[in-house]
């Protein structure tokens, strides 16, 4: 059954794309479109053709799932459909409702005229998938709209609304409504074209022009190279758009085809496409049906007006949900509200928020010294000091006041959510909502499902995560959940590397060059080395088997907590967050090496990256194996949205897949024979998949 319907409206043929949810141009839909065009071409009674989608979607583009599979080149291909449109002797009108993206917009560009519904979104977003428009978009768009606008649209991948499209010349007509009225408008437009004797108008016959082309593209190339480190697609896009200006159409198409093939087979694109689907998988929970009823969340209360509590309150205010910030001390509340105000003011000053929106959001945030307002809240989140006794006390108070059905959430970053749940009268209403600092910026939200957490509480919290524009990822209960548990193993290796001869700057440098936003030592100086110190002290009691280098303790014993004390792994000039290597730290590390009898050795960047990345992947495998994470792509999303992992590497599990699990296992076995080798225990899941030649994802 083809997913395109063909119908006649008088002398007009209508081809309706019907492949929900986004009219992805998979093989079936392509076959339906081609059949419709051929039928219209040979029907003498047909004088023009309208191609239309649904009110929501003209088309979201090629079916990304087909890439790197035979289906993507199964005939009819999108290129063949476009060639048929180029050969059509009758005008074809694309009627765009909702959005036309990627191959969907390229299909519309190959049609001869375009009419769009109000605010329809038009984009060539392929660059976000590490590729480029591969069906003529880089050759047609610069011929239809100003070259600079075309380059900007393709290199950014950002959509333009149909109103802007009309101004640019991308859209010929704006319908005054969407849905069935769009069809009526499109039919009327097609009739008018016939009446005016307008035949097919092929963009391929137009010319792309730009003044001082050589200079324009030289500047574009320089700017793009600076902005796209690690991502090859943007520079390839500049090459293709330059070909649209400097070469005949068919030559330009050849350039586009070659550059597309190069990119679509590259690791960066596969990583970005993995991330596209991984993000959409996170909300799928095997035992929670998509239609599970959720509890309404109209008001929130947050206990603790510190950095986290304030950031969380902003998340609710940003989503239009009132939040009451509660703290025992007035000065804490004042400081918390002042920090929120400053944060918003900073965004306003950067032009990313209107003053009136800031004012609206500030009115949504109230402050209270007592717990009275907890009784009106639909969710109460505790964000107090990371100590079990403190949290137990706070949860008990919340439990005694919150209304029945309210969700009791804890922002703990490592503590046992089941233990916290067991301390209240309604463990089924308790859940972990682990925000990442700064909470109003970081997209990651680890949703920690307790053994007793009710299904609707989990479903409600996952939906709330979406409302707060977070990437909500389910974690089971364990020390550190997903992200921090893996981070412990990563930091453990980073500290061992210091013992063996590396320096904070050589380790941070190697990892940042590899693509991490920030290396471990810069990160800990920012977060506060005393936080890690607390965790190590607690772990020494609870899990004496967890071996650390003591070098970090030596640093903390000297009060070198990081930026907040002006000295940490690096030193900092007053008012400047730039980490400066500090000889005192190198002396401290050298003294520690003497203490433990280690002769330092030179350590190559490659070993630093392997030891740190494979530590992440190996622990990630254990987390998946234990069912703490639902799937490998969730683990990837945790690192891609919460830990500055480079998207073009796809996440720790995806990266291990690209290295090859057998190679990762062999390296881990090699590390097991080296310094502190006992801390390397290959994950049984890794060993099993490696032996079977399989991958995590």
Per rule CB under 6 A, is residue 78 in the interface with ligand T1G?
Answer: yes
> What CA–CA distance (Å, rounded) separates 563 from 61?
47
**Minimum CB distance to ligand T1G smaller for 53 or for 60:** 60
- Residue by residue, what is the 3-state secondary structure of 191-238? HHHHHCCCCCCCHHHCCCCCCCHHHHHHHHHHHHHHHCCCCCHHHHHH
Nearer to ligand T1G, 233 or 608 (CB): 233
Is residue 336 involved in binding ligand T1G (CB under 6 A)? Answer: no
State in angstroms the smallest separation of the CB of 49 from ligand T1G.
21
Is residue 256 near ligand T1G by the rule CB under 6 A? no
Rule CB under 6 A: is residue 134 a binding residue for ligand T1G?
A: yes
Binding mask 106-125 for ligand T1G (x = CB under 6 A): x------------------x
Q: How far is the CB of 242 from ligand T1G (least distance, A)?
A: 18
Range in contact with ligand T1G (rule: CB under 6 A) among 5-13, 129-137, 219-227, 644-652? 129-137
Q: Does residue 102 interact with ligand T1G by CB under 6 A? A: yes
Q: Is 63 in the site for ligand T1G (CB under 6 A)?
A: yes
Q: Which of these segments, 43-51, 94-102, 513-521, 635-643, binds ligand T1G (CB under 6 A)?
A: 94-102
Residue 280 vs 354, nearer CB to ligand T1G: 280
Chain CA centroid to CA 237, Å: 22
**Can you tell me which of 88, 111, 122, 135 binds ligand T1G, judged by CB under 6 A?**
135
Instruction: Quote the radius of gyration of the chain (alpha carbons, Å).
Output: 29
Judged by CB under 6 A, which of 65, 209, 219, 396 binds ligand T1G? Answer: 65
Enumerate long-range contacts of 557-560, CB under 8 Å, 24 or more apart: 558/588, 560/529, 560/585
Query: Nearest-CA neighbor of 341 among 321, 320, 323, 355?
Result: 355
The span from the CA of 241 to the CA of 139, in Å, is 7
Q: Cβ 22 to ligand T1G, closest distance in Å? A: 4
Alpha carbons 409 and 558: distance in angstroms, whole number:
36
CB of 269 to ligand T1G, least distance (A): 10
Contact 196, 612 (CB under 8 A): no
- Do 410 and 379 form a contact (C-beta atoms < 8 A)? no
Per CB under 6 A, does 60 bind ligand T1G?
Answer: yes
Q: Decide: is 634 part of the binding site for ligand T1G (CB under 6 A).
A: no
Sheet holding 379-382, edge to edge: 365-368, 323-326, 300-303, 379-382, 407-410, 430-435, 444-448, 471-475
Q: For this structure, is 126 an active site residue?
A: yes
The answer to whether the CB of 197 falls within 8 A of the CB of 104 is no
Q: Which of 133, 310, 504, 652 binds ligand T1G (CB under 6 A)?
A: 133
Question: Residue 23 or residue 461: which is nearer to ligand T1G going by CB?
Answer: 23
Q: Which of 99, 189, 436, 648 binds ligand T1G (CB under 6 A)?
A: 99
Do the Cβ atoms of 367 and 406 come closer than 8 Å?
no
Residue 24 interacting with ligand T1G (CB under 6 A)? yes
**What is the nearest approach in angstroms of ligand T1G to the Cβ of residue 36?**
19
110 vs 487, which CB is nearer to ligand T1G?
110
Find out whether 546 and 532 touch, Cβ atoms under 8 Å: no
64 binds ligand T1G (CB under 6 A): yes
Residue 233, φ and ψ in degrees, nearest 5: -60, -45
φ, ψ at 197 (rounded to 5°)? 70, 25
Residue 142 touching ligand T1G (CB under 6 A):
no
Distance CA 445, CA 434 (A): 6
Shortest Cβ 45–ligand T1G spacing (Å): 33
Distance linking the first and last C-alpha atoms of the chain: 32
When asked if residue 309 is in the footprint of ligand T1G (CB under 6 A), the reply is: no
Report the alpha-carbon distance of residue 229 to residue 649 in Å, rounded: 13
Question: DSSP code of 677?
Answer: G
Of 280 and 594, nearer to ligand T1G (C-beta) is 280
| Of 99-107, 192-200, 535-543, 602-610: span binding ligand T1G (CB under 6 A) | 99-107
| Angle, alpha carbons 15-261-644 (nearest 5°) | 100
> Which one is catalytic: 28, 126, 256, 488?
126
SS3 label, residue 434: strand
- Is 277 or 385 the residue whose CB approaches ligand T1G more closely? 277
Q: Counting contacts by CB under 6 A, is residue 424 touching ligand T1G?
A: no
- Starting at the edge strand found earlier in the chain, the sheet holding 121-123 runs 99-101, 121-123, 160-161
Q: Shortest CA distance to 581 belongs to which of 679, 508, 645, 524?
A: 508
**If binding is defined by CB under 6 A, does position 469 make contact with ligand T1G?**
no
| Residue number closest to ligand T1G, CB atom | 102
286 contributes a contact to ligand T1G by CB under 6 A: no
- Say whether residue 465 binds ligand T1G (CB under 6 A): no
Q: CB of 300 within 8 A of CB of 321?
A: yes
C-alpha dist (Å) from residue 421 to 392, 399, 452: 9, 10, 8
Task: Report in angstroms how near the CB of residue 564 gets to ligand T1G at its nearest.
Answer: 40
Which residues does residue 8 pair with via DSSP β-bridges, in sequence order? Answer: 13
Tell me the C-alpha distance between 271 and 290, whole Å: 27
Least separation in angstroms between residue 303's CB and ligand T1G is 34
Of the candidate spans 62-70, 360-368, 421-429, 440-448, the one that interacts with ligand T1G by CB under 6 A turns out to be 62-70
Least distance between ligand T1G and beta carbon 152 (Å): 17
Q: Which two tokens stand for residue 308?
A: 């986290």
- Is residue 280 involved in binding ligand T1G (CB under 6 A)? yes
- Residue 595 main-chain phi, psi, to 5 deg: -55, -40
Nearer to ligand T1G, 129 or 471 (CB): 129
CB of residue 379 vs ligand T1G: minimum separation in angstroms? 25
- 652 by DSSP, 3-state: which? helix
Q: Judged by CB under 6 A, does residue 279 bind ligand T1G?
A: no
Q: How many residues bind ligand T1G (CB under 6 A)?
A: 25
Query: Which among 28, 106, 268, 610 is annotated as catalytic?
Result: 106
Residue for token digits 């009823």? 293
The residues annotated as belonging to the active site are 106, 126
Binding site for ligand T1G (CB under 6 A): 21-22, 24, 60-65, 78, 99, 101-103, 106, 125-126, 129, 131, 133-135, 137, 277, 280
């Amino acid at each position: 059954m083809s997913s395109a319907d063909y119908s006649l409206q008088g002398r007009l043929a209508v081809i309706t794309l019907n492949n929900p949810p986004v009219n992805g141009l998979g093989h079936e839909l392509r076959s339906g479109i081609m059949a419709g065009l051929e039928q219209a071409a040979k029907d003498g009674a047909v004088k023009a053709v309208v191609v239309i989608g649904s009110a929501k979607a003209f088309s979201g583009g090629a079916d990304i799932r087909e890439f790197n599979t035979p289906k993507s080149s199964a005939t009819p291909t999108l290129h063949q459909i476009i060639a048929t449109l180029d050969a059509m002797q009758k005008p074809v009108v694309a009627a765009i409702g909702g959005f036309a993206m990627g191959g969907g917009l390229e299909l519309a560009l190959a049609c001869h005229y375009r009419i769009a519904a109000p605010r329809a979104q038009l984009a060539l977003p392929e660059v976000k998938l590490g590729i480029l428009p591969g069906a003529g978009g880089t050759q047609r768009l610069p011929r239809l709209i100003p070259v600079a606008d075309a380059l900007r649209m393709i290199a950014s991948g950002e959509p333009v609304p149909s109103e802007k499209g009309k101004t640019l010349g991308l859209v010929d007509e704006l319908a005054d409504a969407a849905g069935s009225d769009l069809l009526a408008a499109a039919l009327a437009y097609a009739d008018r074209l016939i009446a005016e004797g307008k035949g097919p108008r092929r963009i391929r016959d137009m010319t792309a022009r730009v003044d001082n082309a050589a200079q324009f593209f030289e500047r574009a190339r320089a700017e793009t190279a600076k902005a796209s480190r690690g991502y090859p697609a943007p520079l390839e896009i500049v090459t293709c758009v330059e070909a649209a200006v400097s070469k005949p159409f068919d030559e330009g198409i050849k350039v586009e085809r070659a550059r597309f093939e190069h990119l679509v087979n590259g690791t960066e694109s596969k990583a970005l496409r993995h991330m596209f689907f991984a993000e959409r998988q996170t909300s799928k929970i095997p035992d929670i049906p998509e239609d599970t009823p959720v509890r309404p969340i109209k008001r929130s209360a947050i206990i603790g007006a510190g950095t986290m509590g304030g950031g969380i309150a902003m998340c609710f205010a940003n989503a239009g949900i009132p939040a009451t910030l509660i703290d025992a001390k007035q000065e804490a509340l004042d400081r918390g509200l002042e920090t929120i105000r400053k944060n918003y003011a900073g965004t306003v000053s950067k032009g990313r928020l209107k003053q009136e929106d800031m004012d609206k959001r500030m009115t949504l945030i109230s402050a209270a010294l007592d717990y009275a307002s907890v009784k009106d809240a639909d969710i109460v989140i505790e964000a107090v000091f990371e100590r079990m006794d403190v949290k137990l006390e706070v949860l008990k108070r919340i439990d005694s006041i919150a209304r029945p059905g309210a969700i009791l959430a804890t922002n703990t970053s490592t503590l046992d959510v089941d233990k916290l749940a067991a301390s209240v009268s309604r463990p089924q209403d308790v859940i972990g909502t682990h925000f990442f600092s700064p909470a109003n910026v970081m997209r990651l939200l680890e949703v920690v499902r307790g053994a007793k957490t009710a299904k609707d509480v989990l479903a409600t919290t996952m939906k709330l995560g979406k409302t707060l524009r977070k990437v909500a990822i389910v974690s089971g209960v364990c020390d550190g959940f997903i992200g921090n548990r893996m981070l412990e193993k990563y930091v453990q290796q980073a500290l061992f590397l210091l013992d063996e001869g590396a320096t904070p700057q050589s380790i941070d440098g190697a990892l940042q060059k590899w693509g991490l936003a920030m290396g471990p030592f810069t990160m800990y100086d920012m977060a506060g080395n005393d936080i890690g110190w607390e965790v190590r002290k607690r772990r020494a009691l609870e899990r004496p088997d967890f071996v650390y280098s003591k070098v970090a303790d030596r640093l903390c014993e000297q009060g070198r907590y990081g930026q907040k004390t002006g000295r940490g792994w690096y030193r900092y000039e007053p008012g400047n967050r730039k980490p400066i290597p500090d000889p005192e730290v190198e002396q401290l590390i050298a003294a520690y090496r003497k203490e433990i009898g280690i002769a330092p050795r030179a350590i190559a960047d490659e070993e630093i990256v392997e030891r740190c990345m494979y530590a992440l992947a190996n622990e990630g495998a254990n987390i998946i194996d234990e069912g703490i994470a639902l799937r490998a792509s969730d683990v990837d999303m945790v690192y891609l949205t919460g830990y500055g992992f480079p998207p073009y590497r796809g996440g720790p599990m995806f990266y291990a897949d690209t290295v090859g699990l057998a190679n990762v296992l062999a390296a881990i076995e090699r590390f097991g024979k080296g310094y502190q080798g006992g801390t390397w225990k290959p994950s049984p899941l890794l060993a099993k998949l490696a032996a079977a030649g399989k991958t995590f994802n």
